Amino acid sequence: MGVSKEKAAENRQAIVAAAACLFRERGVDGVGLVELMKEAGFTQGGFYNHFKSKQALVDEVIASAMSDAKADLPQGLDEPASASGTALMRQLAYYLSTQHRDDIEHGCPVAGFSGDVARLGADAQSLYAGGLEDMFGAIAAMMSAAPPPSDDLPPLTGRERAIGRYCEMLGALVLSRAVAQASPALSQEVLKSAHKDLLAS
Amino acid sequence: MGVSKEKAAENRQAIVAAAACLFRERGVDGVGLVELMKEAGFTQGGFYNHFKSKQALVDEVIASAMSDAKADLPQGLDEPASASGTALMRQLAYYLSTQHRDDIEHGCPVAGFSGDVARLGADAQSLYAGGLEDMFGAIAAMMSAAPPPSDDLPPLTGRERAIGRYCEMLGALVLSRAVAQASPALSQEVLKSAHKDLLAS
DNA sequence: TGTACATCAGTGAACGCGCGTTCACTGATGTAC
DNA sequence: TGTACATCAGTGAACGCGCGTTCACTGATGTAC
């Protein structure tokens, strides 16, 4: 009750951070503002001092999570090919780890919000699409330029291959999360098989 | 107001069918029983004549959708390799079509429920896991047994490759749906790139 | 076959509850003089 | 520097609303005799 502007800005960030975790874990619709504000350390009424609506918070959460995820990606500028290949292998191992699967709160937001984004507002969807574009670019930059062995089919561009690889990574993560509780063995098998398959490609 | 047992069973199926569409389109949490029953052609009160709870309906919807999807898959028994290869190519073309992307209501339930299932009950998750297992089996049966060119890496089993392929298919479908409204061009590119990439593998 | 009655699918109002949002109020911050 | 006051982040009760669920009631179905 009576708080400096600096502290208020910190508190606003705490709300965004709490929402980024809770929304990914239980879905945007599954988290109410009372619980959200409590998790951030406040009572419900203060929410509207910081955000116009819940939807406005959702937009900011998507933007923030996508921006953070982009910052975590390797820069990929002018690295020697072998180093960027190693970076890709490291990314793969992390992305398809049980640790990443079980930490949806802080994991890749493209995967974490993939189930919700189609039902969110237009702004959130645009921000999400921008984040997806960044992921494709980062994977393409990390991939060695070697084209796959094409028998008689049209050759794939680097970007097409990058998109294919990322779809497999994301699909494996999403599916391993979907069955993690009901069938831990299948969940593990999905991660492991996709990992092996991606390393071979 | 007085209805034969036969008609009552039909009505029950109408509720399940309406729910199968609405739950996929807008999420389980996004559809209320009033709207659901109205869509099926009834008023809200009758719901509990057929189902113990909303959760019980969810379980039945998942079971029913997975069972229907399995019935649509090619049997894959004793077909010559070339025929099963063609079946796989047909499945791929359908799975990654804009038609399938835009028809989530009747599309693959493994993809349609992938975002919701982790937040549903244990029974729904088990039923979902069973459906996923069926998909892996069907893909494996349709794939030619030819192993990929492994330089010095351990060779992949047919099942491992099938899991990898299906993860890529599902990831592409989920992502193309996620950005379909905000970025139609990117959505199309995801489908097309994954399709090309999968044909080459 | 005809009559009397139990069954139960369907109706629509009502329940408590949690949702997103609004509001009057508090009191430290931070500006004006 | 000290005093007076406007600002505004935070509080917690309250709002209307839609949710899942319950209920008394209706009336054709379908069984018992």
Q: How far is A149 from chain B (nearest CA, A)?
A: 8
Nearest to B29 among A27, A172, A178 (CB): A27
Q: Taking the C1' atom of D14, which residue's CA lies nearest?
A: A45
* pLDDT at residue B154 in the model: 74
Interchain contact, A183 vs B26, CB within 8 Å: no
Whether A187 shows a pLDDT value over 90: the answer reads yes
For residue B170, the chain A residues in CB contact (below 8 A) are 171, 174-175
The string of DSSP letters for B88-145 reads: HHHHHHHHTSHHHHH-TTTS-HHHHTTTTGGGS-HHHHHHHHHHHHHHHHHHHHHS--
Question: What CA–CA distance (Å, rounded) separates B173 from B107?
Answer: 10
* pLDDT at residue A80 in the model: 63
pTM above 0.85, yes or no: yes
* pLDDT at residue A201 in the model: 83
For residue B133, the chain A residues in CB contact (below 8 A) are 186
Please answer whether residues B116 and B27 qualify as being in contact, where contact means their C-beta atoms are separated by less than 8 angstroms. yes
Q: Which amino acid is at A33?
A: L
**In this prediction, what percent of chain B has a pLDDT beyond 90?**
82
Question: What CA–CA distance (Å, rounded) separates A192 from A54?
Answer: 38
Please answer whether residues A88 and A151 qualify as being in contact, where contact means their C-beta atoms are separated by less than 8 angstroms. no
Whether B59 shows a pLDDT value over 60: the answer reads yes
Per-residue pLDDT reduced to its tens digit, B80-124: 666 777 889 999 999 999 999 999 999 999 999 999 999 999 999
For residue A182, the chain B residues in CB contact (below 8 A) are 122, 125-126, 128-129
On average, the pLDDT of chain A sits at: 92
A positions 103-162 inside 8 Å of B (CB): 110, 113-119, 122, 125-126, 128-129, 132-133, 148-150, 153-154, 156, 159-161
In the numeric block, which tokens belong to residue B155?
């060779």
